[in-house]
Chains A and B, each alone.
Chain A
Amino acid sequence: MSTKKKRSPPTENSSWVVIATDSIVDVPKTATGEPTFVKLRNPSTGSASLYLFGSGDSDLYEVKAFTEDYHSWFIGQTVQRDGRLLYITQMDPLYLLLPYLLKAGAEGKFQPVEQVVKDEDFPGCTRLLSCTRSLKSLHHVADEKEVGSLKFHRVSQEKTLDWLKKKVERTVSTLRKSNISVGGGVKSSTFIRVKQEEQASDEDYLRYAHGLVSEYISEDLRKDLLKHLQLPELSSPKQEPPAKKRKLSDLPVEAKDDYTKLNSSDFTRKPPKKMTAAQKSLAKVDKTGMKSLSAFFSPKVKQEKH
């Protein structure tokens, strides 16, 4: 059983196992274009993540993968080596637009969004503006100006935080409804609790929801939102004092609590024990020319070079 099985690197899959909302699949025949997977900049990490545009780019969905070691699928008459389960769930495109708006907002000017939402690395980002919700919801995070038929926007920090606060509050109410354990301590959703869990406090819910929303915003925004929600930043554990070093001194070390001193009157050294037969026979051995065992551990005396 000691044979080690080498794991070959995962190969590309020809199929995936997906759980998706009906709205992606039930595309009306009149619809324009198929649903497509697109790589976009993840607003939280700044790196690439996979998203899906619904038919005609009207809706945005995020793709999350359930991945755990030692899972595989049996699909019909085939085996798929990765036991991955993809979840495609709807998401608010404003989360993905926000980093672009914030970046442009630093200039403090009103600009047309088409000019702002541009990304060399992720050209697909312009499609975010086609989503039905996108243009309608811009006013949640930005001030608007209309000049003729043209619309100009400028991101507002205050509006953004208010909008995110609403998101957090909504998340709290969903968390309460779906009975998700938000309290401190390590708990697993896979264990069924016999006892009804202690009522989690409002702050526990608020913090948990804030953490969830933070998965969709930048780190700076996460901190600002925490202040906006009037939640103190969780203090990181205090800097512990450096480990005590044992004092090195030539003086003999004396134990602090040496109880033997208390009864020193009746504490006398025991006479050496009688030797066993084996020890006696060993003692008789001719030890001339033999090194003591401790000699092997003492530092070597450097021999002078000749």
Chain B
Amino acid sequence: MDLGPFEADNTVSCRLASAIPDICKTDDCCLGIDEAGRGPVLGPMVYGICFCPVSKKDELKALKVADSKTLTEEQRESLFVNLDEAKSFVGWALQVISPNTISTSMLQRMKYNLNALSHDAAIGLVQFALDSGVQLKEVFVDTVGPAEKYQDKLSQRFPGIEVTVRPKADSLFPIVSAASICAKVARDHAVKGWKFLEDLGKVDTEYGSGYPGDPKTKSWLLNYLDPVFGYPQFVRFSWSTAQTLLDSNAVPVHWDDDEEDGEKSAARQNNTSMLSYFNRTSSQANGDQSSGRDAHRFFTERRLQNISSL
């Protein structure tokens, strides 16, 4: 698998796709969606779709695709090669969502959670297949969150396509298994060959599985924690594992949308309570302007103050 386009810039999301088999543009097709790398604190999350004509389902079965979790890495690799070689009737496409995209989405002011990110990636890939002329009739999805809600969302988004959302869909439907293999292989490649943008010298690649529970992963995170910047972009900052370590080991950083107790933060920011505007005994009415006169608005609007020391 060629991850070139992603490796060229692993800070953003990237789409990789096979050529669209001609038969998929004429015959009714089924499509499977699955994801790899949802849980790890390290590396990208990969969404994969695989599609083939409904009439060729048996031929897909003959490729012996199975749930990627039951396979060894070598088996997955060889199965992916088989899939890729069946290009006469099988097509695939991947959305590689970089850890940086995950961090910035989940930590931005308007929070964009992982489920929404996942759903949108899936929707984007289905739309991509439609735009490429694939005659989609059936879509099978391994669930993210409640299956029913997700199924309704996808059915509404793609009217005319029969959507089936099922937990463990990757072991039930061969087309989903195929998608899960594509996604998993891409994720493995991306993690193994991760090109660190940061100047870290020779990076210790013993980061284990990347899952928060893995002690190897945890010690790697501690090792590469910079007190000011935190981690390399390989790490998902939005994971609580990463944040807990940052809270205890890095310099505290304050953002103006930090959650704080409303009243306290208001006091700290010298914000005036809304109630005070209704208060009758304002200082102006009492005429005690002379003591502690406010700076002219030219300066206050520009946040300019006199200082008495450097």
Contact = CB atoms under 8 A, between A and B. Distances in A.
A60 to B, nearest CB: 14
Given A208-B298, A211-B297, A236-B284, A49 B308 contact: yes
B310 A5 contact: no
Given A39-B308, A66-B302, 14 more contacts: A5-B252, A5-B254, A8-B252, A49-B307, A50-B308, A64-B305, A66-B303, A79-B228, A87-B304, A189-B302, A211-B298, A236-B287, A240-B280, A240-B285
Contacts of A260: none
A42 interface: yes
A37 B301 contact: no
Interface stretch (B6-14, B26-34, B79-87, B256-264): B256-264
Nearest to B297: A211
Given A65-B305, A237-B284, A215 B296 contact: yes
Contacts of A253: none
A219 B290 contact: yes
B148 interface: no
24 contacts: A1-B259, A3-B247, A39-B308, A39-B309, A45-B293, A49-B306, A50-B307, A50-B309, A50-B310, A63-B307, A64-B307, A70-B256, A86-B307, A87-B304, A180-B298, A189-B301, A189-B302, A208-B298, A214-B296, A215-B296, A219-B290, A236-B287, A237-B284, A240-B280
Nearest to B247: A3
Contact of B254 (A2, A45, A70, A239): A70
Contact of A237 (B285, B297, B304): B285
A219 B287 CA distance: 13
Interface in B257-291: 258-260, 269, 280, 282, 284-285, 287, 290
A67 B305 contact: yes
A214 B310 CA distance: 25
Contacts of B254: 5, 7, 69-70
Contacts of A64: 299, 304-307
Contacts of A237: 282, 284-285
Given A50-B309, A236-B285, A65 B247 contact: no
Across the A-B interface, give the 5 residue pairs with the lowest CB-CB distance, nearest first.
A5-B252, A70-B256, A49-B306, A48-B308, A211-B296
A65 B282 CA distance: 29
B252 A6 contact: yes
Interface of B: 228, 247, 252-256, 258-260, 269, 280, 282, 284-285, 287, 290, 293, 295-299, 301-310
Interface residues of A, number: 45
Interface string A203-222: 00000100110110001000
A75 interface: no
A62 B299 CA distance: 14
A115 interface: no
A163 interface: no
B295 A70 contact: no
Nearest to A4: B260
Contacts of B298: 180, 208, 211-212
Interface string A39-59: 100101101111000000000
Contacts of B258: 5
B115 to A, nearest CB: 17
Nearest to A78: B228
A16 B293 CA distance: 28
A24 B222 CA distance: 47
B72 to A, nearest CB: 39
Contacts of A212: 296, 298
User: Which residue, A68, A70, A86, has most C-beta atoms of chain B within 10 A?
Assistant: A70
Nearest to B260: A4
A42 B306 contact: yes
Given A2-B259, A79-B228, A189-B301, A243 B307 contact: no
B301 A188 contact: yes
A1 B240 CA distance: 9
Given A4-B260, A5-B252, A16 B310 contact: yes
B299 to A, nearest CB: 7
Interface in A162-217: 180, 188-189, 208, 211-212, 214-215
A50 B306 CA distance: 7
- Residue among A4, A68, A86, A243 with most chain B CB within 10 A: A4
A194 B255 CA distance: 30
Contacts of B304: 64-66, 87
B230 to A, nearest CB: 13
Contacts of A47: 308
Contacts of B247: 3, 5
